[in-house]
Structure 1
Amino acid sequence: MPESLWTAVYVLWIIGGTVFLLLRRRRPTTTLAWIIAFWGLPLISGVGYFMFGPRRLDDQSGLRQRARQAAADHIPPVTEDLQQAFIAKFDLASLARVSQTDDDPEPGPKQARAVQLFADGDSAFPAILKAIEQAEETLHLEYYIWEPDVIGTRFRDALAEKAHQGVTVRIIVDAIGGQDCRGEFWQPIVDAGGEVRKFNPPHILKPQPGKLNFRTHRKIVLIDGHIAFTGGINVSDSSRSFDNGEGEPAWRNTHLSIDGAPATGIQSIFLEDWLYSVSVDAVNRGERNAADLLPKSEKKPAIPDDIWRWFPDRDAESTTPMTDDAPWVQIVDSGPDEKSEDIHLLFFTAITSAKRRLWITTPYFVPDPPIETALASACARGVDVRIIIPADSDSKLAKAAAKTFSADASDRGAKIWLFEPHMNHSKTMIVDDELSIVGTANMDNRSFRLNFELVAAIYDHNVNAELAEMFERDQSNSRPFESDEDNAGLVNRLMANTSRLLAPLL
């Protein structure tokens, strides 16, 4: 190709790429970084942007939005005003409003019949399996990782048995996180009448910009629409030690169960994801998304025939008597299909609202600038800020980046602790003595803006105290972080600072 033609193509690339990027509303530093990359490394940056650049899943007419719109017609309406009993009881009650944005209103806090915390898979898995065994009508599960190992097979067989008994079984597994479970693994459930769907499967022949980057990181179990489990535990032997022989020790993790009306919020989230996901059989046929299976004349995915069974507490929740000390729970979700970053906003506001203590456990401590500023502000106000991260992470990049962010937080007064026994995968926050946050979201950009996540904000002094006891046990098994830890030498510093640059992707 003549040199003049190459020059013309390059100039057109720079002009077109720059205009394209300027039309996207992003942080100025991010836009500038992509523009510089487009100019300096045209081919590499183009492929990189195609894979990782987009921050929204699709527009208002896209597949995900069609699923959300279809689900919205059947989700119980959101109550706009917080209940006076809730406002009067908690100093931090106003935090419940931050997620109730106009474009994506979250359900307000509702009283649960019970909330139970689990410190690891050894306690959570038996409780989930027992609840599955007691299911009478519906079983809905959604997981980022589902391994075809001992615990994964045990879950599958339990669900197949319930499907044989006539219980409606629906499972969503992330197409990337659950890729080790092939179609034959799920066949016992399908043969028994259950259905398994994949979330956001990649399609080689029909690629979409950035779509591979958007994963469901949620861990959800719903029993008969009124008992829910969520938290940091995936279906994997890494979170269990029973029957584990002499293998690696089970990960420390935090999960919880919710009995009662707050489960409605989790059920609503599952419905959106169910309508967006596609069956395992369709994936094997090369289909990309559930909406692709619709005739072009159809605008919304089909609603399940038994939708009336999905929300059994819809009429009862306002009349069911609750004791004064019953915990209040708000379910908050976020994802790249939403304009607002509700979990990020909740974390930021919780950190800035803390008055006495702020105790955080996260496996990946890679905060963005607003969260860094909020943590610095809490330290400056005299709040007891403690953060537990694993001494040895399963992600080398996240571990390297966490060193630099931990050093910054430590310099501003936060007490950083390194959990030593094994991997700590818990995602929790304790604010003063009344608010606890437990869920699937890490303290990183991927959880804030790229993944589909879910957290439970629990307003209750007893749950707060129990979670604080877990935190103190973890702290007793941790060592203090030193600002210059593992930072000696050119290679270590280069690795840490390079990983920090990649923080938006971690």
Structure 2
Amino acid sequence: MIGSMIAIAALTLHVAGIFAAMHAVMHTRTAQGAFAWVLGLVLLPYVTLIPYFFLGSSHFGGYVDLHRQRQARFFMLHEEAEHPARPGILPVTAPVNDERYEAIGRMLKTAMHGGNGLALHIDGDDAFKAMFAAIARAEHYVLVQFFIIHDDVLGRRLRDALLDRAAAGVQVCLLYDGIGSHDLPASYIEALRSGGVNAHPFATRRWRNRLQLNFRNHRKVLVVDGVRGFVGGLNAGDEYLGAKPPLSPWRDTHMEIEGPAVADLQRVFAEDWYWVTGERPPSSPPPERCGRANTMIVATGPADRQESCSLFFTQAIHAATRRVWITTPYFVPDQAVFGALRLAVFRGVDVRILIPSRPDHRTVFMASTLYAHEATLAGIRMFRYQPGFIHQKVMLIDDDTAVVGSMNMDNRSFRLNFEISALNVDTTFADQIEAMLVHDFAQSEEVNQNDYDRLTYLQRVALHVARLFDPVL
């Protein structure tokens, strides 16, 4: 009797595994990912079926259509242009044409705006000092979005700063990721809401996404009064100030924008906010001109029809004629991005990539180690940052273009996370990024082609096994 029940249960699991494998074949974004899921679901449904329910989906169900509908209802550029004086409607400045990045704008239905003033903030102390100062000066509204918020010293500073503005009559909207901030206590949010802060987790909400651990909102955005915006790699936790060994000191980068591009930061936040709350956050027109930089806000995610983050990296790398310097904590490129990097080397471009020397995620670190070895064989110069953990997401292209944001060079950012970066064309800002990266490279050790050969056979096998998990890293 017991044997029959076990046999029926096993048969049921295998049948369910076959149906799940059919779903994976039809819906997984990459052939490699589909093959990995199918193999596991058909042969080992006992261990892969449940993880597939949590990790298998590759499209953010429901958000895709609503993303388009809400753009049409609230953010259509022609409506904003025709009604620049309407309350809550943001005006559109004439876009700047740059042939190198025009395809990115078309793909994302966004534009590059001129007249922006930019400020670079290196590491957490400088960045949060500037952000808290901007929040303290807010007169009308504050829009805040982080992937991670901790109930620690920095997290409580953020809470108190937002409560202070709310007490002064300023509208405060806070969005945080439900998984990234999974250990944030309910008392933290209750204190904010009791003090007048409108705080919400980014959640899937639709039943077909309910079990998914994918589709995290990895964006970091701060907008104050529509005048000033911040974007970059920092979250609100003590580790981002370098206060938590063994990863400290923590190396990260944020940037500040003042000018027309702030309107696009507001739009990105507004779409996420509307998805979660069904309401539109406050907005106001940004300043028309605060500097000479041209800036395009690049927001990507699983609601896009294309694999927009991967394509963004690919096009930006293809645009380079002299130099591509990249820093990323997770170097797990897909074939398109890796191919673009290798082709850049053959064009004579100086390609350098800076990655950590110590892991915060062991499997990703092992996969990155193998990719770093293969990159050196292709002529890409790889460096490991020595003082601490490097978390910044920065790209320098030639002498005038710098990208700062939340995008990692891995499958999760390419296809599963909602991400945001600022692509800036300005020689002065690019010079600042160059000086920062030169200092970073000076504190790094270059990866040698022989480093891989020095590993034991079992260590090399482990690296190759880790890379098999590319689709979910």
Instruction: Decide: shared fold, TM above 0.5.
Output: yes
For the pair 1:150 / 2:123, whether they are aligned, the reply is: no
Q: How does 1:456-495 map to 2 (within 5 A)?
A: 456-485=422-451, 488-495=455-462
Q: CA deviation at 1:345?
A: 1.1
How far apart are the structure 1 equivalents of 2:359 and 2:337? 21
- Equivalent of 2:32 in 29, 43, 58: 29
Deviations 1:440-471 (A, max 9, x none): 00010101111110011101111111101111
Moved over 6 A (4+): 82-85, 245-248
Deviations 1:193-217 (A, max 9, x none): 11110112799xx674662212111
Question: 2:256 is aligned with what amino acid?
Answer: S
After superposition, the Cα gap between the structure-2 partners of 1:383 and 1:14, relative to the gap in structure 1 and judged at 3 Å, is: same
Q: Look up the match of 1:272.
A: 271
Q: Look up the match of 1:97.
A: 103
After superposition, the Cα gap between the structure-2 partners of 1:174 and 1:9, relative to the gap in structure 1 and judged at 3 Å, is: closer
Q: CA deviation at 1:179?
A: 2.1
Q: How does 1:13-412 map to 2 (within 5 A)?
A: 13=16, 16-24=19-27, 26-58=29-61, 62=62, 65-66=65-66, 69-70=69-70, 72-75=72-75, 77=77, 86-87=96-97, 93-101=99-107, 105-200=108-203, 208=209, 211-240=212-241, 249-277=248-276, 290=277, 301=278, 303-304=279-280, 309-313=282-286, 320=288, 326-412=292-378
Q: CA deviation at 1:245?
A: 10
Contact 1:231/1:427 (8 A) holds in 2: yes
- Equivalent of 1:442 in 381, 392, 408: 408
Counterpart secondary structure, 1:172 = strand
Contact 1:49/1:210 (8 A) holds in 2: no
Q: CA deviation at 1:435?
A: 1.2
Counterpart secondary structure, 2:258 = strand
How far apart are the structure 1 equivalents of 2:94 and 2:201? 41
After superposition, the Cα gap between the structure-2 partners of 1:134 and 1:42, relative to the gap in structure 1 and judged at 3 Å, is: same
Q: Look up the match of 2:464.
A: 497
Contact 2:259/2:290 (8 A) holds in 1: no
Contact 1:111/1:322 (8 A) holds in 2: no
Contact 2:95/2:112 (8 A) holds in 1: no
Deviations 1:204-241 (A, max 9, x none): xx674662212111111110122110100111111225
How far apart are the structure 2 equivalents of 1:83 and 1:261? 7
Question: 1:223 is aligned with what amino acid?
Answer: V
Contact 1:50/1:209 (8 A) holds in 2: no
Q: CA deviation at 1:152?
A: 1.0
Question: Please, which moves more after superposition, 18-27 or 448-457?
Answer: 18-27
State the TM-score, normalizing by the size of structure 2. 0.89
Unaligned residue ranges in structure 1 (runs of 5+) = 278-289, 291-300
Unaligned residue ranges in structure 2 (runs of 5+) = 82-91
How far apart are the structure 2 equivalents of 1:182 and 1:441? 27
Q: CA deviation at 1:273?
A: 1.1
Q: CA deviation at 1:415?
A: 0.8
Question: Please, which moves more after superposition, 1-10 or 379-388?
Answer: 1-10
How far apart are the structure 1 equivalents of 2:180 and 2:70? 26
After superposition, the Cα gap between the structure-2 partners of 1:85 and 1:236, relative to the gap in structure 1 and judged at 3 Å, is: closer
Contact 1:238/1:249 (8 A) holds in 2: yes
Q: CA deviation at 1:259?
A: 0.5
Q: CA deviation at 1:74?
A: 1.9
Counterpart secondary structure, 1:344 = helix
After superposition, the Cα gap between the structure-2 partners of 1:76 and 1:161, relative to the gap in structure 1 and judged at 3 Å, is: farther
Contact 2:145/2:222 (8 A) holds in 1: yes
Q: CA deviation at 1:49?
A: 1.7
Q: CA deviation at 1:426?
A: 0.8
Contact 1:68/1:272 (8 A) holds in 2: no
Tell me the percent identity: 30
How far apart are the structure 1 equivalents of 2:72 and 2:450? 51
Q: CA deviation at 1:115?
A: 0.6
Question: Please, which moves more after superposition, 379-388 or 491-500?
Answer: 491-500
Counterpart secondary structure, 2:250 = coil
Contact 1:360/1:430 (8 A) holds in 2: yes
Q: CA deviation at 1:13?
A: 4.3
Contact 1:388/1:416 (8 A) holds in 2: yes
Deviations 1:132-163 (A, max 9, x none): 00001000101001111111111110110100
After superposition, the Cα gap between the structure-2 partners of 1:496 and 1:67, relative to the gap in structure 1 and judged at 3 Å, is: same
After superposition, the Cα gap between the structure-2 partners of 1:420 and 1:77, relative to the gap in structure 1 and judged at 3 Å, is: same
Counterpart secondary structure, 1:358 = strand
